[in-house]
Structure 1
Amino acid sequence: MYIKQESWKEWIRLLFFTVTVAIIARTFLIAPIIVDGESMVPTLADNDRMIINKSSYWFSDPERFDVVVFHASEEKDYIKRVIGVPGDTLYYDNDSLYVNDQKIAEPHLQTLKEANNGEPITADFSLRDAAGVKTIPEGHVFVLGDNRKHSFDSRSIGLVSMEDIVGEAELTFWPFSHLNWLRN
Protein backbone atom coordinates (compact mmCIF):
# COMPACT_ATOMS: atom_id res chain seq x y z
CA MET A 1 0.00 0.00 0.00
CA TYR A 2 2.80 2.41 0.87
CA ILE A 3 4.44 2.01 -2.56
CA LYS A 4 1.26 2.80 -4.47
CA GLN A 5 0.65 5.95 -2.41
CA GLU A 6 4.17 7.23 -3.11
CA SER A 7 3.78 6.41 -6.79
CA TRP A 8 0.54 8.39 -6.94
CA LYS A 9 2.19 11.39 -5.27
CA GLU A 10 5.10 11.26 -7.73
CA TRP A 11 2.69 11.28 -10.67
CA ILE A 12 0.92 14.34 -9.25
CA ARG A 13 4.27 16.11 -8.78
CA LEU A 14 5.35 15.20 -12.31
CA LEU A 15 2.06 16.44 -13.75
CA PHE A 16 2.31 19.71 -11.80
CA PHE A 17 5.92 20.21 -12.92
CA THR A 18 5.04 19.47 -16.57
CA VAL A 19 2.09 21.87 -16.59
CA THR A 20 4.19 24.59 -14.94
CA VAL A 21 7.01 24.21 -17.48
CA ALA A 22 4.50 24.25 -20.35
CA ILE A 23 2.86 27.44 -19.07
CA ILE A 24 6.21 29.19 -18.61
CA ALA A 25 7.40 28.07 -22.08
CA ARG A 26 4.14 29.18 -23.74
CA THR A 27 4.16 32.53 -21.97
CA PHE A 28 7.81 33.50 -22.39
CA LEU A 29 9.57 31.28 -24.93
CA ILE A 30 7.47 29.79 -27.72
CA ALA A 31 3.93 29.98 -29.01
CA PRO A 32 1.95 28.17 -31.67
CA ILE A 33 0.08 30.35 -34.16
CA ILE A 34 -2.17 29.86 -37.15
CA VAL A 35 -1.50 31.94 -40.26
CA ASP A 36 -4.60 33.91 -41.21
CA GLY A 37 -4.63 35.09 -44.81
CA GLU A 38 -2.57 35.00 -47.97
CA SER A 39 -0.18 37.92 -47.37
CA MET A 40 2.89 35.70 -46.91
CA VAL A 41 2.34 33.35 -49.88
CA PRO A 42 4.42 31.51 -51.08
CA THR A 43 6.43 31.35 -47.82
CA LEU A 44 3.37 30.74 -45.63
CA ALA A 45 -0.15 29.70 -46.61
CA ASP A 46 -3.49 30.47 -45.00
CA ASN A 47 -4.08 28.14 -42.02
CA ASP A 48 -0.45 26.99 -41.75
CA ARG A 49 0.39 26.12 -38.16
CA MET A 50 3.72 27.36 -36.91
CA ILE A 51 5.88 28.03 -33.88
CA ILE A 52 7.20 31.47 -33.02
CA ASN A 53 10.20 32.08 -30.81
CA LYS A 54 9.31 34.78 -28.29
CA SER A 55 12.88 35.03 -26.99
CA SER A 56 14.52 35.77 -30.37
CA TYR A 57 14.84 39.48 -29.74
CA TRP A 58 15.59 39.59 -26.03
CA PHE A 59 19.27 40.33 -26.69
CA SER A 60 19.30 41.33 -30.35
CA ASP A 61 17.15 43.22 -32.83
CA PRO A 62 15.35 41.83 -35.86
CA GLU A 63 17.44 41.49 -38.98
CA ARG A 64 16.49 42.12 -42.58
CA PHE A 65 14.30 39.29 -43.96
CA ASP A 66 13.37 37.83 -40.55
CA VAL A 67 9.73 36.74 -40.51
CA VAL A 68 8.13 38.28 -37.41
CA VAL A 69 4.80 38.28 -35.62
CA PHE A 70 3.72 41.61 -34.16
CA HIS A 71 0.72 43.24 -32.51
CA ALA A 72 -1.00 45.22 -35.27
CA SER A 73 -3.82 46.16 -32.89
CA GLU A 74 -5.18 45.14 -29.50
CA GLU A 75 -7.03 42.21 -31.03
CA LYS A 76 -4.95 41.27 -34.09
CA ASP A 77 -1.39 40.04 -34.70
CA TYR A 78 0.23 40.12 -38.15
CA ILE A 79 3.03 38.04 -39.61
CA LYS A 80 5.32 39.81 -42.09
CA ARG A 81 8.93 39.97 -43.27
CA VAL A 82 11.34 42.64 -41.99
CA ILE A 83 12.59 44.65 -44.97
CA GLY A 84 14.11 47.68 -43.27
CA VAL A 85 15.84 48.10 -39.91
CA PRO A 86 16.86 51.23 -37.95
CA GLY A 87 19.09 53.56 -39.94
CA ASP A 88 17.93 52.24 -43.32
CA THR A 89 16.56 54.26 -46.19
CA LEU A 90 14.66 52.16 -48.70
CA TYR A 91 12.60 52.24 -51.84
CA TYR A 92 11.31 49.99 -54.58
CA ASP A 93 11.99 50.79 -58.20
CA ASN A 94 11.08 48.56 -61.13
CA ASP A 95 10.26 45.63 -58.78
CA SER A 96 13.65 45.83 -57.06
CA LEU A 97 14.46 46.63 -53.43
CA TYR A 98 17.03 49.32 -52.71
CA VAL A 99 18.31 49.73 -49.17
CA ASN A 100 20.69 52.62 -48.50
CA ASP A 101 20.90 53.06 -52.30
CA GLN A 102 22.15 49.46 -52.79
CA LYS A 103 20.07 46.94 -54.75
CA ILE A 104 19.22 44.02 -52.45
CA ALA A 105 18.27 40.57 -53.74
CA GLU A 106 15.12 38.98 -52.31
CA PRO A 107 15.51 35.24 -52.94
CA HIS A 108 12.33 34.46 -50.95
CA LEU A 109 10.32 36.12 -53.78
CA GLN A 110 11.80 34.14 -56.66
CA THR A 111 8.93 31.60 -56.89
CA LEU A 112 6.33 34.36 -56.83
CA LYS A 113 8.18 36.38 -59.49
CA GLU A 114 8.41 33.33 -61.77
CA ALA A 115 4.68 32.65 -61.32
CA ASN A 116 3.86 36.27 -62.16
CA ASN A 117 5.25 35.96 -65.72
CA GLY A 118 7.50 39.00 -65.55
CA GLU A 119 4.82 41.32 -64.16
CA PRO A 120 6.02 43.36 -61.16
CA ILE A 121 4.96 42.02 -57.78
CA THR A 122 5.92 45.15 -55.81
CA ALA A 123 4.73 48.56 -56.93
CA ASP A 124 7.26 51.39 -56.77
CA PHE A 125 7.30 53.34 -53.50
CA SER A 126 9.70 55.12 -51.17
CA LEU A 127 9.99 54.96 -47.40
CA ARG A 128 8.82 58.58 -47.23
CA ASP A 129 5.70 57.74 -49.29
CA ALA A 130 4.88 54.65 -47.24
CA ALA A 131 5.83 55.64 -43.70
CA GLY A 132 6.38 59.40 -43.80
CA VAL A 133 10.07 59.22 -42.85
CA LYS A 134 13.32 59.34 -44.80
CA THR A 135 15.19 56.95 -42.50
CA ILE A 136 13.85 54.21 -40.23
CA PRO A 137 14.27 55.46 -36.65
CA GLU A 138 15.64 53.45 -33.74
CA GLY A 139 13.15 51.06 -32.22
CA HIS A 140 11.24 50.47 -35.46
CA VAL A 141 11.25 48.20 -38.52
CA PHE A 142 9.60 48.29 -41.92
CA VAL A 143 7.72 45.09 -42.83
CA LEU A 144 6.15 43.69 -45.99
CA GLY A 145 4.18 40.56 -46.77
CA ASP A 146 5.77 38.31 -49.37
CA ASN A 147 2.56 38.40 -51.42
CA ARG A 148 3.07 42.10 -52.08
CA LYS A 149 -0.12 42.67 -54.10
CA HIS A 150 -2.28 41.23 -51.31
CA SER A 151 -0.64 42.37 -48.09
CA PHE A 152 -1.65 44.94 -45.50
CA ASP A 153 1.80 45.93 -44.23
CA SER A 154 4.06 48.94 -43.51
CA ARG A 155 2.95 50.53 -46.76
CA SER A 156 -0.46 50.89 -45.10
CA ILE A 157 0.11 50.76 -41.35
CA GLY A 158 3.50 52.48 -41.19
CA LEU A 159 6.55 51.40 -39.23
CA VAL A 160 6.30 48.66 -36.61
CA SER A 161 7.64 49.37 -33.14
CA MET A 162 10.03 46.72 -31.87
CA GLU A 163 8.02 46.76 -28.64
CA ASP A 164 5.09 45.34 -30.63
CA ILE A 165 7.07 42.39 -31.99
CA VAL A 166 5.93 39.17 -30.32
CA GLY A 167 8.66 36.97 -31.79
CA GLU A 168 10.29 35.42 -34.81
CA ALA A 169 8.56 32.77 -36.88
CA GLU A 170 10.72 29.66 -36.63
CA LEU A 171 8.96 26.56 -37.90
CA THR A 172 5.91 25.66 -39.95
CA PHE A 173 4.72 22.26 -38.74
CA TRP A 174 1.24 21.75 -40.21
CA PRO A 175 0.14 20.71 -42.69
CA PHE A 176 3.05 18.33 -42.69
CA SER A 177 3.66 19.01 -46.40
CA HIS A 178 4.57 22.60 -45.38
CA LEU A 179 7.09 21.54 -42.72
CA ASN A 180 9.81 24.18 -42.99
CA TRP A 181 12.40 26.05 -40.91
CA LEU A 182 12.05 29.75 -41.69
CA ARG A 183 15.63 30.77 -40.87
CA ASN A 184 17.37 33.05 -43.40
Structure 2
Amino acid sequence: MHLVGHAACDVQLSDVLSRSAYHSSIDKKKGAYYSQTVRIIIVTALLATALAWSIQELPAAFLVVSGNSMYPFAKSGQIVLVNRYIYRFSAPDAGDVVAFRTPDSGELAMKRVSAVAPGPRYHLLGDNCRDSLDSRHFGWVSRDEIIGRVEPLGRRISP
Protein backbone atom coordinates (compact mmCIF):
# COMPACT_ATOMS: atom_id res chain seq x y z
CA MET A 1 0.00 0.00 0.00
CA HIS A 2 1.33 3.40 -0.94
CA LEU A 3 0.55 6.73 0.59
CA VAL A 4 -0.64 9.21 -1.94
CA GLY A 5 1.47 12.29 -2.28
CA HIS A 6 4.43 13.84 -3.98
CA ALA A 7 6.74 11.41 -5.71
CA ALA A 8 9.67 12.26 -3.41
CA CYS A 9 7.47 11.54 -0.41
CA ASP A 10 6.26 8.23 -1.71
CA VAL A 11 6.55 6.12 1.41
CA GLN A 12 5.11 2.74 2.10
CA LEU A 13 2.89 2.28 5.15
CA SER A 14 5.03 -0.61 6.36
CA ASP A 15 8.07 1.74 6.46
CA VAL A 16 6.18 4.23 8.61
CA LEU A 17 5.02 1.52 11.00
CA SER A 18 8.49 -0.02 11.31
CA ARG A 19 10.01 3.40 12.04
CA SER A 20 7.45 4.14 14.75
CA ALA A 21 8.10 0.69 16.25
CA TYR A 22 11.82 1.45 16.15
CA HIS A 23 11.32 4.76 17.97
CA SER A 24 8.96 3.09 20.42
CA SER A 25 11.60 0.47 21.28
CA ILE A 26 14.18 3.25 21.76
CA ASP A 27 11.79 5.05 24.13
CA LYS A 28 11.28 1.81 26.06
CA LYS A 29 15.05 1.32 26.31
CA LYS A 30 15.49 4.91 27.55
CA GLY A 31 12.75 4.38 30.14
CA ALA A 32 14.35 1.13 31.29
CA TYR A 33 17.76 2.83 31.46
CA TYR A 34 16.41 5.71 33.55
CA SER A 35 14.50 3.43 35.94
CA GLN A 36 17.59 1.23 36.34
CA THR A 37 19.68 4.35 37.05
CA VAL A 38 17.17 5.49 39.67
CA ARG A 39 17.26 2.02 41.27
CA ILE A 40 21.07 2.09 41.38
CA ILE A 41 21.05 5.54 43.01
CA ILE A 42 18.50 4.44 45.63
CA VAL A 43 20.38 1.22 46.45
CA THR A 44 23.68 3.12 46.68
CA ALA A 45 22.15 5.69 49.03
CA LEU A 46 20.68 2.94 51.23
CA LEU A 47 24.00 1.09 51.38
CA ALA A 48 25.89 4.29 52.25
CA THR A 49 23.40 5.04 55.03
CA ALA A 50 23.67 1.50 56.40
CA LEU A 51 27.48 1.68 56.32
CA ALA A 52 27.55 5.04 58.10
CA TRP A 53 25.15 3.74 60.77
CA SER A 54 27.12 0.52 61.29
CA ILE A 55 30.41 2.42 61.70
CA GLN A 56 28.83 4.57 64.40
CA GLU A 57 27.44 1.47 66.09
CA LEU A 58 30.69 -0.49 66.18
CA PRO A 59 31.32 -1.93 69.64
CA ALA A 60 34.65 -0.13 69.95
CA ALA A 61 36.46 2.92 68.67
CA PHE A 62 40.09 3.95 68.70
CA LEU A 63 40.97 7.47 69.81
CA VAL A 64 44.22 9.39 69.99
CA VAL A 65 44.72 11.23 73.28
CA SER A 66 45.20 14.97 72.97
CA GLY A 67 46.60 16.73 76.04
CA ASN A 68 47.89 15.55 79.39
CA SER A 69 44.80 15.84 81.58
CA MET A 70 44.75 12.07 82.14
CA TYR A 71 48.50 11.61 82.75
CA PRO A 72 49.76 9.08 83.95
CA PHE A 73 46.79 6.93 82.78
CA ALA A 74 47.19 8.16 79.20
CA LYS A 75 49.70 10.49 77.59
CA SER A 76 49.19 12.87 74.69
CA GLY A 77 49.56 10.94 71.43
CA GLN A 78 48.65 7.57 72.98
CA ILE A 79 45.98 5.43 71.33
CA VAL A 80 43.12 4.28 73.55
CA LEU A 81 40.20 1.96 72.95
CA VAL A 82 36.65 3.05 73.82
CA ASN A 83 34.36 0.13 74.64
CA ARG A 84 30.94 1.42 73.56
CA TYR A 85 28.92 -1.62 74.68
CA ILE A 86 30.15 -2.11 78.25
CA TYR A 87 27.67 0.36 79.72
CA ARG A 88 24.69 -1.15 77.95
CA PHE A 89 24.85 -3.93 80.53
CA SER A 90 26.13 -2.05 83.57
CA ALA A 91 26.56 1.52 84.78
CA PRO A 92 29.89 3.34 85.08
CA ASP A 93 31.48 2.91 88.51
CA ALA A 94 33.70 5.24 90.49
CA GLY A 95 37.24 4.75 89.21
CA ASP A 96 36.26 3.95 85.59
CA VAL A 97 37.81 6.11 82.88
CA VAL A 98 35.06 7.10 80.46
CA ALA A 99 34.81 8.82 77.08
CA PHE A 100 32.02 11.38 76.92
CA ARG A 101 30.76 14.52 75.25
CA THR A 102 31.41 17.61 77.36
CA PRO A 103 28.19 19.38 78.37
CA ASP A 104 29.48 22.85 77.47
CA SER A 105 30.98 22.28 74.00
CA GLY A 106 30.04 18.71 73.03
CA GLU A 107 33.71 17.85 72.45
CA LEU A 108 34.89 14.29 72.94
CA ALA A 109 36.88 13.92 76.16
CA MET A 110 37.93 11.30 78.69
CA LYS A 111 38.03 11.54 82.47
CA ARG A 112 37.82 9.31 85.54
CA VAL A 113 34.50 8.86 87.36
CA SER A 114 35.04 10.27 90.87
CA ALA A 115 31.44 10.12 92.12
CA VAL A 116 27.99 8.98 91.07
CA ALA A 117 24.84 10.91 91.97
CA PRO A 118 21.14 10.13 91.52
CA GLY A 119 19.84 10.65 88.06
CA PRO A 120 22.36 9.07 87.26
CA ARG A 121 24.87 11.88 86.98
CA TYR A 122 28.63 11.52 87.13
CA HIS A 123 31.36 13.71 88.55
CA LEU A 124 34.40 13.34 86.29
CA LEU A 125 37.98 14.39 87.09
CA GLY A 126 41.22 14.28 85.16
CA ASP A 127 44.10 12.34 86.74
CA ASN A 128 46.36 15.36 86.24
CA CYS A 129 44.16 17.87 88.09
CA ARG A 130 46.45 20.86 87.36
CA ASP A 131 46.05 20.33 83.60
CA SER A 132 42.40 19.22 83.40
CA LEU A 133 39.10 20.85 82.52
CA ASP A 134 36.65 18.50 84.19
CA SER A 135 33.48 18.46 86.31
CA ARG A 136 34.96 21.23 88.42
CA HIS A 137 34.61 23.36 85.27
CA PHE A 138 31.56 21.99 83.38
CA GLY A 139 29.62 20.29 86.17
CA TRP A 140 28.14 16.83 86.48
CA VAL A 141 27.70 14.72 83.33
CA SER A 142 24.52 12.76 82.53
CA ARG A 143 24.58 9.08 81.62
CA ASP A 144 23.45 9.97 78.06
CA GLU A 145 26.66 11.93 77.46
CA ILE A 146 28.92 8.97 78.32
CA ILE A 147 30.00 7.03 75.21
CA GLY A 148 31.94 4.16 76.79
CA ARG A 149 34.79 2.96 78.98
CA VAL A 150 38.34 3.82 77.95
CA GLU A 151 41.04 1.13 77.85
CA PRO A 152 44.68 2.15 77.27
CA LEU A 153 46.55 0.32 74.51
CA GLY A 154 50.05 1.49 75.36
CA ARG A 155 50.95 2.66 71.84
CA ARG A 156 51.94 6.23 71.18
CA ILE A 157 51.88 8.20 67.94
CA SER A 158 54.94 10.37 67.41
CA PRO A 159 54.26 14.08 66.82
TM range (shorter): 0.5 to 0.7
Greater Rg by CA: 2
Q: Match of 1:71?
A: 101
Q: Match of 2:27?
A: none
Q: Relative contact order: is structure 1 or structure 2 higher (C-alpha 8 Å, sep ≥ 6)?
A: 1
1:32 aligns with 2:54: no
Secondary structure, counterpart of 2:89 in structure 1: coil
Secondary structure, counterpart of 2:87 in structure 1: coil
Q: Match of 2:137?
A: 156
Secondary structure, counterpart of 1:58 in structure 2: helix
One-letter amino acid of the counterpart of residue 143, structure 1 = L
The 1:53–1:25 alpha-carbon spacing in structure 2 relative to 1, beyond 3 Å, is farther
Q: Match of 2:41?
A: none
Q: Distance in 2 between matches of 1:40 and 1:69?
A: 12
1:42 aligns with 2:72: yes
Question: After the TM superposition, which parts of structure 1 deviate over 4 Å for at least 4 consecutive aligned residues?
Answer: none
1:127-177, CA deviations, whole angstroms, 9 ceiling, x for partnerless residues?
xxxxxxxxx22221100000011100000100011100010002324129x
One-letter amino acid of the counterpart of residue 163, structure 1 = D
Q: CA RMSD in A?
A: 2.3
One-letter amino acid of the counterpart of residue 125, structure 2 = L
1:113-139, CA deviations, whole angstroms, 9 ceiling, x for partnerless residues?
xxxxxxxxxxxxxxxxxxxxxxx2222
One-letter amino acid of the counterpart of residue 140, structure 1 = R
Q: TM-score, normalised by structure 1?
A: 0.53
Q: 1:166 aligns with which of 143, 147, 153?
A: 147
Q: Contact 1:71–1:165 (CA<8 Å) still a contact in 2? A: yes
Q: 1:58 aligns with which of 88, 104, 128?
A: 88
Q: Match of 1:16?
A: none
Q: Contact 2:124–2:135 (CA<8 Å) still a contact in 1? A: yes
User: Which ranges of structure 1 fall in alignment gaps of 5 or more residues?
Assistant: 1-19, 86-135, 177-184
Q: 2:111 aligns with which of 80, 92, 95?
A: 80
Secondary structure, counterpart of 1:163 in structure 2: helix
Percent of aligned positions that are identical: 32
Q: TM-score, normalised by structure 2?
A: 0.60
One-letter amino acid of the counterpart of residue 67, structure 1 = V
Q: Match of 1:145?
A: 126
Q: Contact 1:142–1:154 (CA<8 Å) still a contact in 2? A: yes
Secondary structure, counterpart of 1:57 in structure 2: helix
Q: CA deviation at 1:53?
A: 0.2
Q: Number of residues paired by the alignment? A: 107
Q: Distance in 1 between matches of 2:60 and 2:82?
A: 6
1:21-79, CA deviations, whole angstroms, 9 ceiling, x for partnerless residues?
9x847623000001111100111101111111000100211001000000115651110
Q: Distance in 2 between matches of 1:158 and 1:59?
A: 25
